[in-house]
């Protein structure tokens, strides 16, 4: 999503989703927290947090010190209205307003693929994490490994190999990779039942109709560790 272009996630349909705008909801958030083995009080930041549903969950259910960052001032505002004492900051993932080595964990749930410069986001994540800090991602991916990054689609969706390369280039080692595509199917079916079509969803993700068939859209969960 380019700076200055309209943020389609500010649409009321998405802003009012109670367990966030992502396949798997809190089930996958719980799985990320378990895989990362965060200790009570661990400092974590959720990048592309929307209205902060995950920040609230990690704080209240997980006992973590959780902060959220989102590009949208409107979504941050809505999150703070819903729960006054949530720590939500309006900022871009490409320029995080935090000190070096100040977090034990970083999450990005269904947000990386809509960010304009993933390399810069990973560099920032690496900078703010302590050595050995954990990165938990859930997102769309292209299951067809023959696709080439940037060539096969108009969105920021990558194949596993492309993602692994960018992570390595930015000082991360992959610890866990799981295909969670069944949650994508469930999410899309539920969305169609509630809203009549999934067009708004694909539009938000920057996906053209023809793209879906070309690169076999899937959903993954990935845990990586910052190399010391
Ligand atoms: C699919 S929504 C996911 C929101 C949230 N993670 C959830 O699960 O409900 C993607 C979010 O990424 C945010 N976003 C897009 N580009 C961003 C950027 N460069 N930096 C920070 N947030 C961004 C959008 O405003 C939106 O809230």
Does ligand 1 have an atom closer than 6 angstroms to the CB of 7?
yes
Does ligand 1 have an atom closer than 6 angstroms to the CB of 110?
yes
> Global pTM?
0.90
* Domains of the chain with bracketed CATH: 8-226 (3.40.50.150)
Beta bridge partners of 68: 46, 88
Question: Do the Cβ atoms of 94 and 24 come closer than 8 Å?
Answer: no
Does ligand 1 have an atom closer than 6 angstroms to the CB of 115?
yes
**Ligand 1 atom closest to residue 19's alpha carbon, by position in its atom list:** 9
- pLDDT tens string, the chain, 228 residues long: the values are 544 456 767 776 666 666 668 899 999 999 999 999 999 999 999 999 999 999 999 999 999 999 999 999 999 999 999 999 999 999 999 999 999 999 999 999 999 998 989 999 999 999 999 999 999 999 999 887 666 555 445 567 889 999 999 999 999 999 999 999 999 999 998 889 888 888 888 887 777 766 666 678 899 999 999 997
Quick one: DSSP state of residue 38?
P
């Amino acid at each position: 999503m380019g700076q200055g272009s309209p943020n389609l996630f500010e649409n009321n349909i998405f802003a009012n989703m109670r367990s966030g705008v992502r396949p798997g909801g809190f089930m996958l958030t719980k799985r990320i927290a378990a895989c990362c083995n965060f200790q009570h009080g661990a400092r974590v930041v959720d990048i592309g947090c929307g209205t902060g549903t995950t920040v609230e969950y990690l704080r209240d259910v997980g006992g973590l010190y959780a902060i959220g960052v989102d590009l949208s001032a409107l979504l941050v505002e809505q999150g703070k209205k819903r729960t006054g004492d949530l720590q939500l900051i309006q900022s871009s993932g490409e320029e995080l307003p935090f000190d070096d080595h100040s977090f034990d964990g970083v999450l990005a749930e269904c947000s990386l693929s809509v960010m304009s410069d993933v390399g810069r986001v990973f560099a920032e994540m690496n900078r703010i994490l302590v050595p050995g800090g954990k990165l938990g991602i859930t997102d769309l991916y292209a299951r067809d490994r023959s696709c080439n990054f940037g060539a096969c689609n108009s969105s920021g969706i990558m194949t596993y190999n492309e993602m692994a390369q960018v992570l390595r280039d930015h000082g991360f080692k992959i610890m866990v990779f799981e295909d969670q595509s069944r949650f994508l199917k469930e999410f899309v079916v539920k969305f169609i039942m509630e809203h009549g079509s999934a067009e708004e969803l694909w539009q938000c993700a920057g996906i053209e109709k023809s793209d879906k068939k070309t690169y076999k859209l899937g959903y993954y969960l990935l845990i990586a560790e910052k190399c010391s």
